[in-house]
C-alpha cells in the first residue's frame, strides 16, 4: 500500500488571554491563532500487523533536539492514530514517519501539529473516511491546539484553546521567528503563571478589539501594536534572557514583538520581505537565539500532499 503524506503548519497566537485556572487544571483562553509557513510532514504507511510505530527526523541542524521527542506511546502522533483506530474499529497498524521543522517545545504547537497530521494521514491511509467535524472532535481530545491545526488560516480559540471559530481577516503577514536553544514545557509555564498570580485576581480572558480590527483591515502596523500574550511574565520568569531577544527585534524596528504561546520562540512582525530580512539579521546577534526563520502567515491547516 502506498504511503500517505500530510503537511501541517506551526501556529502562533496573535493574542493569548489566559484566565484563572479551572477545576480540571486547564486555563480558559481567548486567543487568535494564525497558521504560519513552517511545516512538519507526517507520512503514514499501513502495516499488515496491528503495531503503531513512529520515527522522527529533521534535516534542519538547529532542530537536533528531535532526540527529545518521544517515539513510544507518549508521542502525540501515535496517540492520534490510536484514538482514530479505537473510534473506528480498524484492525491494521501504521508506521508514522515525522519530518520535523517546527521547533520542539517552542510554543508553536509542534507536537499538536504532528497529531493533527497523523489524524488526517491515518484517516486516509486506513480509509476510515471520517469527515472534518468528526476529526475535530478527536483533535480536541488530543490537545488544546490540535483542532486549530486541522483548521489553519486565522481563527479565534476559546475554551482551553480547543474550540475554534472563524475570524474575519485580510492580508498576509511577514514574520520572523527567533528559536531558543532549549524548549520550554507548556505545563511548566502555566504552572509559573499560577504561581505568579496566586493572590491576584485574574480576569476572564477576552480577545482585544483593536487586534480584530487590525486583522479585518489587513493593517500590519496596527496588528503589530495589538499583539499580546498573558504568558509573557511567566515565560520570562523562567527564561529571563528572552527579554534581550525581544529587545533586539524591537530595536531592529519590528512592528510588534511577543513570545509565541508559552515560548520560548519569540516572534516579530515585519512590514515586508526586506524589513523581515533586516530583523532576522539583527537577531542573529542575540545570545539566546539558536536559529532565526523568516515566515509568512496565514497558511492552510493539515492537508494531504
Site string for ligand C5P, 188-207 (x = CB under 6 A): --x-----------------
Q: Can you state the angle between helices 76-88 and 110-125, rounded to 10 degrees?
A: 40
160 binds ligand C5P (CB under 6 A): yes
75 binds ligand C5P (CB under 6 A): no
Active site residues: 11, 145
Nearer to ligand C5P, 20 or 93 (CB): 20
Nearer to ligand C5P, 159 or 171 (CB): 159
Query: At 127, phi and psi to the nearest 5?
Result: 65, 30
143 binds ligand C5P (CB under 6 A): yes
- d(CA 271, CA 203) in angstroms, rounded, equals 33
- d(CA 250, CA 94) in angstroms, rounded, equals 46
Burial of 86 (0-12, 13-18, 19+ CB in 10 A): exposed
User: What is the helix (H) or strand (E) element at residue 146, kind and residue range?
Assistant: helix 146-151
Could you say which residues in the range 14-33 bind ligand C5P, by CB under 6 A?
25-27, 29
- d(CA 158, CA 142) in angstroms, rounded, equals 16
Nearer to ligand C5P, 58 or 186 (CB): 186
183 binds ligand C5P (CB under 6 A): no
The CB density around residue 207, as the number of other CB atoms within 10 Å, is 21
187 binds ligand C5P (CB under 6 A): yes
Q: Are 134 and 96 in contact (CB under 8 A)?
A: no
Which listed residue (58, 75, 118, 144) binds ligand C5P by CB under 6 A? 144
Q: Are 180 and 106 in contact (CB under 8 A)?
A: yes
Q: C-beta of 209: minimal distance to ligand C5P in Å? A: 22
Q: Are 15 and 55 in contact (CB under 8 A)?
A: no
Which listed residue (186, 232, 245, 276) binds ligand C5P by CB under 6 A? 186
Nearer to ligand C5P, 135 or 283 (CB): 135
- d(CA 120, CA 41) in angstroms, rounded, equals 11
Nearer to ligand C5P, 148 or 190 (CB): 190
85 binds ligand C5P (CB under 6 A): no
Stretch that binds ligand C5P, among 63-71, 81-89, 141-149, 207-215 (CB under 6 A): 141-149
Q: C-beta of 232: minimal distance to ligand C5P in Å? A: 16
Q: C-beta of 24: minimal distance to ligand C5P in Å? A: 9
Alpha helices in 239-284 (DSSP H): 242-251, 273-283
- From residue 272, alpha-carbon distances to 169, 171, 172, 278 in Å are 18, 12, 10, 10
Q: C-beta of 157: minimal distance to ligand C5P in Å? A: 9
Site string for ligand C5P, 270-289 (x = CB under 6 A): --------------------
In the complex, which residues of this chain contact ligand C5P (CB under 6 A)? 25-27, 29, 112, 143-145, 160-161, 186-187, 190
Amino acid at each position: 500500500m502506498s504511503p500517505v503524506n500530510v503537511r501541517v503548519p506551526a501556529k502562533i497566537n496573535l493574542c493569548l488571554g489566559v484566565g484563572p485556572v479551572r477545576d480540571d487544571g486547564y486555563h480558559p483562553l481567548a486567543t487568535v491563532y494564525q497558521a504560519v509557513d513552517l511545516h512538519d510532514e507526517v507520512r503514514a504507511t499501513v502495516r499488515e500487523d496491528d503495531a503503531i510505530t513512529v520515527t522522527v527526523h529533521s534535516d534542519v541542524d538547529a532542530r537536533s533536539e528531535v532526540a527529545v521527542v518521544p517515539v513510544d506511546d507518549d508521542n502525540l502522533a501515535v496517540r492520534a492514530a490510536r484514538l482514530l483506530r479505537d473510534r473506528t474499529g480498524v484492525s491494521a497498524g501504521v508506521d508514522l514517519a515525522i519530518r520535523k521543522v517546527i521547533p520542539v517545545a517552542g510554543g508553536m504547537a509542534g507536537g499538536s501539529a504532528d497529531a493533527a497530521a497523523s489524524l488526517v494521514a491515518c484517516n486516509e491511509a486506513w480509509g476510515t473516511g471520517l469527515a472534518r467535524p468528526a476529526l475535530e472532535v478527536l483533535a480536541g481530545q488530543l490537545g488544546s491546539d490540535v483542532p486549530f491545526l486541522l483548521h489553519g488560516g486565522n481563527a479565534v480559540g476559546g475554551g482551553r484553546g480547543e474550540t475554534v471559530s472563524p475570524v474575519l481577516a485580510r492580508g498576509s503577514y511577514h514574520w520572523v521567528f527567533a528559536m531558543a536553544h532549549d524548549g520550554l514545557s507548556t505545563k511548566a509555564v502555566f504552572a509559573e503563571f499560577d504561581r505568579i498570580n496566586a493572590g491576584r485576581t485574574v480576569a476572564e480572558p477576552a480577545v482585544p478589539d483593536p487586534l480584530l480590527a487590525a486583522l479585518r483591515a489587513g493593517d500590519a502596523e496596527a496588528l503589530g501594536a495589538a499583539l499580546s500574550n498573558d504568558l509573557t511574565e511567566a515565560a520570562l520568569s523562567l527564561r529571563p534572557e528572552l527579554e534581550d531577544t525581544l529587545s533586539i527585534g524591537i530595536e531592529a524596528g519590528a512592528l510588534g514583538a511577543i513570545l509565541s504561546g508559552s515560548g520560548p520562540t519569540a516572534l516579530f512582525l515585519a512590514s515586508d520581505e526586506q524589513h523581515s530580512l533586516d530583523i532576522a539579521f539583527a537577531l542573529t546577534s542575540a545570545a539566546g537565539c539558536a536559529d532565526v526563520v523568516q515566515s509568512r502567515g496565514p497558511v492552510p491547516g493539515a492537508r494531504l500532499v
